[in-house]
Amino acid sequence: MDLQLKDRKVLVTGGTRGIGRAIVEAFLAEGAQVSFCARGQEGVDQATQALGERAFGQALDITDTAALERWVNESAERMEGIDIIVPNVSALAGGPELDAWRQAFDTDLLGTVTMVNAALPWLQKSYAGSVVIISSVSGREVDIFAEPYGVLKAALIHYGKSLSRRLAAEGIRVNVVSPGNVYFADGVWGKIEREQPDLFAECLAMNPMGRMARPEEVANATVFLASGAAAFTTGTNLLVDGGLTRGVQY
């Protein structure tokens, strides 16, 4: 299947490890150009060196609105446009403290909205404009990551749906991908495995397929939804959870 992604211009936040890194690599494998960002300069430098000449990295904090907007516009100027954006960064914030709620709100929700708003004038110039928001199954069902992480992930699903309706007439598609448990060694589940092995075993057992997802499995779903092969798909929330969730999605 031709995903029609050759020479597409793509922006990805949180692109140095885990799901974000796998998304960057998947777009590059399809012939796209990718500008990515992440908080740490060292990780950005290592990823930029490893990913090749069609990938451009920058270190920034996406809660810094001016810095995020500047990165979007500088990326668009460098690539001569934007076709696809993937707001991927999450604060992974948990706990009842107000600081955790503010961190989740500023990173997960406002970071996504800021990126979309900054990229919109460029997406409107593209004939293949697409937004894929990375949410979570925690936005659909109450689990151990319910507050504030799950609450803000639920908000992203609602935002993606409403945005898809608003932008459909302009030919810009908006979809959401909601991963289940995604394992990589330096991610949240790798940390839980090392520090709370009993909890890890309990959560692993909840996965009907007997394992957690790999980052590239989430990346493949993301890249498909962004691609021309999904040209008539907008407003969907695609679960990549191996059957973890129990709710029926109508």
Enter the tokens of residue 148. Answer: 């504030």
pLDDT, tens digit, 9 for 90 and up, residues 119-138: 999 999 999 999 999 999 99
137 vs 145: CA distance, rounded Å:
10
Task: Kindly list the catalytic residues.
Answer: 135-136, 149, 153
pLDDT, tens digit, 9 for 90 and up, residues 192-243: 999 999 999 999 999 999 999 999 999 999 999 999 999 999 999 999 999 9
Q: Tell me, what amino acid is at 75? A: S
**Single pTM value for the model:** 0.96
What is the per-residue pLDDT for 146? 78
Query: CATH assignment of 9-182+214-240?
Result: 3.40.50.720
Give the domain ranges of the chain. Answer: 9-182+214-240
Long-range contacts, stretch 31-36, CB < 8 angstroms, 24+ apart: 31/5, 31/6, 31/7, 32/5, 32/6, 32/7, 32/8, 32/84, 33/7, 33/8, 33/9, 33/79, 34/10, 35/9, 35/10, 35/11, 35/71, 35/75, 35/78, 35/79, 36/11, 36/12
What is the per-residue pLDDT for 1? 86
Positive or negative, the CA dihedral 24, 26, 28, 33 is negative
